[in-house]
Amino acid sequence: MQDYKQNQKLSYQKKQQPVQEEITGELERIPSKPVQETVESLKLENEHLKKRLLEQTDHAKQVMTHAQKKSKETIRRTNSRRNVITSET
């Protein structure tokens, strides 16, 4: 019984070894920047993305306003042409 448990333990360890080596290899590839430095860089990136989002939102609002003005102007012109045509007949 003792040999069986010992064999099971060794078998389990052999199965785990490649996984452990893979994990160790992954950890070695991760750059070892200090956590605080990483947090600061992410905060800066977040602020930059917020500014870009605001700029893009403002631009989209300007485009929509311009499109609405053009649309109203086109409708007004079309209606005035219709009025001229109907008044002539």
**pLDDT, tens only, 2-58:** 777 777 777 766 666 666 666 666 666 666 668 788 889 999 999 999 999 999 999
Count of structural domains, the chain: 1
Q: What is the pLDDT of residue 27?
A: 62
The percent helix, strand, coil of the chain (3-state, each to 5) is 90, 0, 10
Average pLDDT over residues 71-77: 91
Distance CA 38, CA 46 (A): 12
In a domain, 74, yes or no: yes
Q: What is the pLDDT of residue 24?
A: 62
Range of the domain at 43: 38-89
Q: What is the pLDDT of residue 82?
A: 79
Who has greater pLDDT, 73 or 19?
Answer: 73
In a domain, 49, yes or no: yes
